[in-house]
Structures are given as structure tokens and as C-alpha cells.
Amino acid sequence: MAGLRQTPLTCSGHTRPVVDLSFSNVTPFGYFLISACKDGKPMLRQGDTGDWIGTFEGHKGAVWGATLNNEATRAATGAADFTAKVWDAEKGEELHSFSHKHIVKSVNFSNDSHYLLTGSNEKLLRIFDLQKPDAEPKVFAGHTSNIKAVHFNKECNQVISAADDKTVRIWDVNTAKEIHQIELPSAPGSLELTSDGSILTVTYGHFTAFYNAESFEKIKEIKAPAPINTASLHPSKNFFVCGGEDFKMYKFDYFTGAEIESFKGHFGPVHCVGFSPDGELYASGSEDGTLRLWQTTVGTTYGLWKCVAPDIDNGDITTSASSSSTATSTSGNSSSVIKVEA
């Protein structure tokens, strides 16, 4: 499939910048994707096609963070209305609303979905017990500026946070004390933990950096041509994608740091990106108000992308390397035909 042009599926529906996204694990019904947007209306979609499933109605301000639990039965959102909300992702109903004293920027479930972690502009992290929603949360204090991203580690005995104070901090869940701090040369744009819990991916300035998630030692950092807001490491750990201020999506070889490809699809800075749990596609959200799905391997049949074998006998192509692929997207209640050609 060499020579095919990367053409993303565009998931419309949002009316303002898309600032966060998250995939569920693979479930018996496939996998799912949630997006956070400044329009205050987080949306749930089928992960492999981008087809709209529903919108969570209830926030009264921009939604900055959104996540799904592993089974896609629960969703959580954090917003500018100073609340974090937990939703029944199957029925769309609000289950809990947790008040904060400032904007909630990031939310994350524990692996068993019993706890919700939040990070806010109060410079505090909180863990809420979802089995005892009326109980006081556990509070983690130490950051000196707005918290941008939070994450449980794989064992859920530690939490990781990234903030505008140019640090990534690791905290002990039992004691609520900081146990390690990574200092960065500039404020981080994003924080990601691989599904196996082994590597932290952090972006800052023009760089995407990777850290051992147990020792917290830096493994490497790779520079991009433009300031980078977000990055995601493929489940295979062979390459990663990133995007930022120049509207482009970049793919880099994880081992050599070489740029594999770059392409422009968005019409504004890229704010968030993440790979699907099977690694077949990745989603990106942008200032342009759209969520886009990109093929990891262009030209394969997957989701709404349909690879059509060329008819060589009828002269459809002149070389055996040429091919075409078409797909129809119905995301966001709109329909479009996408064609990928050599």
C-alpha cells in the first residue's frame, strides 16, 4: 500500500475546540471514544468508525477533560463549572457530581472503576471513592500552578500529575505524599501512560519525552519541527504520533527518532491525540472543533475505510504499486465519502 495518501475520517458535531479524548479498552461491543470540548458537551462515539452514539448533557461550562473506564460502562468529565461528573455511559445518565473550587482539567478512573482521580486549577489532586460518593476525597497538595493532566499508574497505588509549574509529580496513593518529581524545561502539554504501565509520554516545547514509569528516568526525547501539545505512543512502542501548533500530525520512529511522515488535516492547533486500544487508528482533536480518525497503516480495510483492489486487467492502474481505498463516514450525523488514492 505504499504511496497512499493519509485521509482522515472527520467526526463533526462539536462547535468549539476539542481539548481531550480517551478510548476505552476493547469490549464485547467493540471499543469506544469520548471527546471533551469547550462547547460543554462531551460526546461518545464508536471508536473504530467515529459514529456518534450520544452526548452527555449537564455541564454549564467548557469541558476540559473526559475519560472512559476500561469497559466503557462509565464516563467521567471535568469542566469549567468547577465540577467533575461521572456518567452511566450506557444510559447517558449523570451518576455523581463532585464540586471543586476551580476548573477541573483532567479526570481518570482506577482500573477497577471504584475511584475517580481529578486534577484542577486549584493546584490539587483528589481521589473520590465512587462506592462512597458522599465521603470526603483524598487530597494531594504540592503543585504550585494549574494541573493539566492526571493518571493512575497500572497498579493504582500511585498517581501521576503534570502541571504548569514545569513538573511531573508522582504521588503515593496511601499517604497522599509526593514520592518523586520530574522537572521539565517548560510547561508540559500532555501526559500519557502506556496501557502496560511501563512508559510515560510527556510533551513540552518542541519535544516529546519518554520516561520509565517505574524508575522515572528519562529514556529519550525527540524534537519536532513545531511546538508540540500532545503525543501518543503506539501499543507496539515502535513509533509515536504527535501534533501541535502548526496544525500538522507527525509520526516518528520511537527507536531512531526519525520522522516517518507528516500531514496536515486540521485547520487549527492539535490539542489531543491517542491510539485506539488495538493500535489500528488514532484520534486527534483540534482548535478547529473537529475530531479526526487516522489510519495507522494507510490503505488497509478497517472500520469505515474500505480498501478496493485495483482492476489491473481493465487498466485501472499502470503499476502494481498503485491502489485506491474508499470509505463512507456518517459521524456527527453528517455523511461524506472519503477516497484515498495512489
Identify the structural domains of the chain with CATH numbers, from first to last.
Answer: 15-300 (2.130.10.10)
204/57 Cα distance (integer angstroms): 33
Geometric angle at alpha carbon 196, from 191 and 200, rounded to 5°: 25
**In 245-290, where do the E strands start and end?**
248-253, 259-264, 270-275, 281-286
322/320 Cα distance (integer angstroms): 6
Asked if residue 328 has pLDDT above 80, the reply is: no
Stretch (H or E) spanning 324: strand 324-329
Contacts of 116 (CB under 8 A, 6+ apart): 76, 84, 86, 98, 107, 108, 109, 110, 127, 128, 130
Helical segments of the chain, H only: none
Model confidence, pTM: 0.89
Is 89 in contact with 74 (CB distance < 8 Å)? Answer: yes
Write out pLDDT tens, residues 75-107. 999 999 999 999 999 999 999 999 999 999 999
What is the CB-side half-sphere exposure of residue 202 using CA atoms within 13 A? 33
What percent of the chain has pLDDT above 90? 84
CA distances to 28, 41, 112, 180 from 73, in Å: 12, 18, 12, 33
Asked if residue 11 has pLDDT above 50, the reply is: yes
Write out pLDDT tens, residues 109-153. 999 999 999 999 999 999 999 999 999 999 999 999 999 999 999
